[in-house]
Structure 1
Amino acid sequence: MQRASPPARRGCTHRCSSLESEMVPTHGGWPMSDRTRLEVIDSDGHVIEPDTVWQDYSEPEYRDRLDRPGGGVQELGMVRAYPDAVAAVPTPPDGESWAADIGSEQWDDEARLKMGRPGGYDPHARLIDMDAEGIDVAVLYPTSMLTWVDDAELFGAACRAYNNWLHDYCSAAPSRLYGAGVVPLQDLDAAVVEMRRCVEQLGFKAIMLRPAAYRDNQKLNHPDYDPFWDAAAGLGCPIGIHPSPHGDMPNACSLLGLAEGVTDPINGLALRQGLTNAFDVQMAVGLFVLGGICERHPELRVAFLEGTGGWIVPMLERFDHQFKIFGSPDQSTIPSEVFARQCVISFDPDEVTLGFTAEHLGADKVIWASDYPHPDAKIPGVVKELQEAVESLPAESQAEVMGRSARRFYGL
């Protein structure tokens, strides 16, 4: 079922309305109109979906299956990922983020406070945080909807509900908050329809995909996915490849057995996220630049997110070396050239290889992400950390990393 436009919310606790004519963000002391400083664009921020998404935005025929304790898709996906877990996710307070109490025993106070920041689910609070940090623009990715449900029809309904909610969230400041939609790629036709709606009706600037097999263990470079890549390229819609450290899909976490016997998904998260995010994103880079996806779809744009970035230079060198020796049945272009033509990679500002990569790969191929409001986000202080990371680069390269690359990639 496709909706022509986002539905009105039922029982909203905070209706989004444009603030742009009502407030002039100071951006940490710099007026927004002052372009003597560099534009700062967060290429991968997150929302924390409130439990009310499923009550207020689900189509009636799916509401009972999605509006459930633990936050709908988040609960369904976690139960799939951790069958031995007693309680996959906590039940949130009414109208608040399910994340407000997550990790109450396992995480330290600072991590819990970040995950529970109101800006995750309230755009007005987010704008205050962005102004305090000096962030001009943020492109927003999900949290609960990073989880996956193999029921294509139900997941498609969840995608529509989430995308409509995200549209309302971003409408608080449509020139500062931009959405990355989610689509049910296990149903290619439905995924194309929802992607088109996200771009043409909701104004989203990207589609988020996990670096994992969506259909019958078929890797993303399987020809069956080609109609989706064709449609994305035709729409000019970038793809944001974003990992999740849970074994709900065929990915590194499930392959390495890191979810087996886990009774609380928070336990062991440091190992799963520290290891599998990079593993999955590296696999995806290979499939796109050496596995033929980008070669077959030269207008497609791809961002590789939240898998760290310091490995990309040596990995592309190795891909090129192997390609020159052995060739590839999937493509005729050197992988590094494919990456340079169509891809960007995201860094956290505290990665020591950010400057090195900008110098060797090109600053126009590097974007940065706050991960706000997830626990590893450095809030406050992320923009200051970013400025320190790029201060040794030429002025033009600093401008690319801090915002220009992201503006060009996302078409902002």
Structure 2
Amino acid sequence: MTSASTSSGPSETAAIGAVFDADNHYWEPSDAFTRHRDPAFLDRGLRVVDLGGRPHYFIGDRAHPILPGPGDAHPRPRPGALYDYFSGKSDKGSLGNELACEVPADHPDWFDRDARLRRMDAQGLEAVWMFPSHAVCVEGPMQPDLDASVEVLRAFNRWLQEDWGFAYRNRIFGVPFLTLSYLDRAIAELEWCLDHGARVVSVRNGPVFTADGTRSPADRAFDPFWARVQEAGIVVAPHAGFDDGYRQVEEAVARAWGYRTSQRDGDTNALTVTEPFVQMLMKHRLVHDFAGTLVAHGLFERFPGLRVAYIENGGTWVGPLLHSLELLAAQNPGMFQRSPVDQFIEHCWVAPFVEDSVDELALHLPVERILFGSDWPHAEGLPEPTDFMASLASFTPADQRRIMRDNARELTLSLPAPAST
């Protein structure tokens, strides 16, 4: 893998041509969550509060746990600044000011879609799935105010469609964020997204927040939503976020191992609000359980046309999950109509972390199910998207092309034949 201090550029992909990045990001500006919000909700859910002349994010009367404020009002990190940290090659102390060294005004391509297209041309990108930076971290902290969380995300999706589009020039595929908290509203929001050309939608990879507590997203109560997803042929792409529904689990794990709370005390050498040891135990726990739930609770058996792409969740959890599903089926005859391992492989795509071993992931998934995602321009991603090619040195040119372009292109641009329910 290319070090964060170097950059290969698009020449690495010359033999492939322009590539398709399944994990690109913008930084949300100051009005992303407020421009289209119902005024009745301006003081509920995620609030944008002026402190000393600069907007900050608040949930109620408390600052958001990890997000300082809008991307156009706060210094941003250098793309790729955390690559060595997440690769285990350095610690936080080596970063200097690289997590707050970029002036937003110097990077119009982080905020403007036409500027981003020019940047994509220079980077050798044919197309991208464009994900939020902040919107993936707001639904959990807004709980238990379900109405506010639904409204904040509804307003956000309208900003996204207006500023970035859901299929801008068939190159920038903005990914709207849906919540299943109220089934009727979830279906209505999905319909709005479809009416405006969405090809990919995102949901939290965690349990659904409802008025009666959390529930499995594969609960039959949500079948009307999944039926419409299948009918439309749209891709569902869960993206890692923050406080995604395992807060109580994390606290229980922390207490079990002698911690008063999962939140760290004092100064630690970790880029997390969680105790480092607890963070280690919980890493990949949620996406592993979410992905297992979709299979074990029969979602793919009821809706054989669904396609789910796991983005910025890494890939090291896939092998252990498939092993567990294999054992589950063997030990519980009749639980599955067909192999749960085969179900996962048929219906699920995975974008590994940029520091992951793609060779290791390919031991468990065929290359047809592996996606290239650079996480650009985030600090934990790559300095340049095509630096990812260094992870594919052992793959054939045909397999490199499939991972770097064809898989995401086929998911996005070709709708499957309708599946019977």
TM-score (normalizing by structure 1):
0.77
Count of aligned positions = 371
Indicate how the Cα distance of structure 1 residues 101 and 340 shifts in structure 2: closer, same or farther if over 3 A, else same.
Answer: closer
Determine which structure has greater relative contact order: mean sequence separation of CA pairs < 8 Å that are 6+ residues apart, divided by chain length.
2
Q: Which amino acid aligns with 2:126?
A: D
Q: Which whole-Å CA distance do the structure 1 matches of 2:157 and 2:393 have between them? A: 37
* Structure 1 residue 209: Cα displacement: 2.5
Aligned partner of 1:75 in structure 2 is 58
Residue 43 in structure 1 maps to residue 45 in structure 2: no
Unaligned runs of 5+ residues in structure 2 are 1-7, 82-91, 255-260, 415-421
* Structure 1 residue 401: Cα displacement: 0.7
Indicate how the Cα distance of structure 1 residues 270 and 121 shifts in structure 2: closer, same or farther if over 3 A, else same.
Answer: farther
Aligned partner of 2:122 in structure 1 is 132
Aligned partner of 2:41 in structure 1 is 62
Root mean square deviation, CA, Å: 3.7
Q: Which whole-Å CA distance do the structure 2 matches of 1:46 and 1:193 have between them? A: 26
Residue number among 346, 361, 386 corresponding to 1:341 in the alignment: 346
1:306-356 C-alpha deviation (Å, 9 max, x unpaired):
221133134313321331232364x3211111012211111123312x123
1:65-100 C-alpha deviation (Å, 9 max, x unpaired):
455228999532895985xxxxx64355xx825564
Classify the secondary structure of the residue corresponding to 1:375: coil
Q: Which amino acid aligns with 1:322?
A: L
1:6-405 alignment runs, 5 A limit: 37-65=16-44, 68-69=48-49, 75-76=58-59, 79=62, 89-92=67-70, 96-98=72-74, 100=76, 108-113=96-101, 118-146=108-136, 147-148=138-139, 149-150=142-143, 151-171=145-165, 173-215=168-210, 216-246=213-243, 250=247, 253-257=250-254, 259-260=262-263, 267-268=272-273, 271=276, 276-327=282-333, 329=335, 331-352=336-357, 354-358=358-362, 360-380=364-384, 382-384=385-387, 386-405=388-407
Q: Which whole-Å CA distance do the structure 2 matches of 1:78 and 1:364 have between them? A: 47
Q: Percent identity?
A: 22
Indicate how the Cα distance of structure 1 residues 135 and 97 shifts in structure 2: closer, same or farther if over 3 A, else same.
Answer: farther
* Structure 1 residue 233: Cα displacement: 1.3
Contact 1:50 1:97 in 2 (8 A): yes
Q: Which amino acid aligns with 1:351?
A: D
1:166-208 C-alpha deviation (Å, 9 max, x unpaired):
1133249432210111123111110111011112224342233
Greater displacement, 300-309 / 164-173? 164-173
* Structure 1 residue 141: Cα displacement: 1.8
Q: Which amino acid aligns with 2:129?
A: V
1:24-50 C-alpha deviation (Å, 9 max, x unpaired):
xxx9667xxx99634411112222211
Contact 1:115 1:373 in 2 (8 A): no
Contact 1:123 1:170 in 2 (8 A): yes
Q: Which amino acid aligns with 1:238?
A: V
Greater helix proportion: 1
Classify the secondary structure of the residue corresponding to 2:128: strand
Q: Which whole-Å CA distance do the structure 2 matches of 1:212 and 1:115 have between them? A: 37
1:240-266 C-alpha deviation (Å, 9 max, x unpaired):
122224366657545545654779996
1:208-238 C-alpha deviation (Å, 9 max, x unpaired):
3332332212122322222222221122122
Indicate how the Cα distance of structure 1 residues 368 and 328 shifts in structure 2: closer, same or farther if over 3 A, else same.
Answer: farther
Greater displacement, 121-130 / 400-409? 121-130
Contact 1:38 1:402 in 2 (8 A): no
Classify the secondary structure of the residue corresponding to 2:117: helix
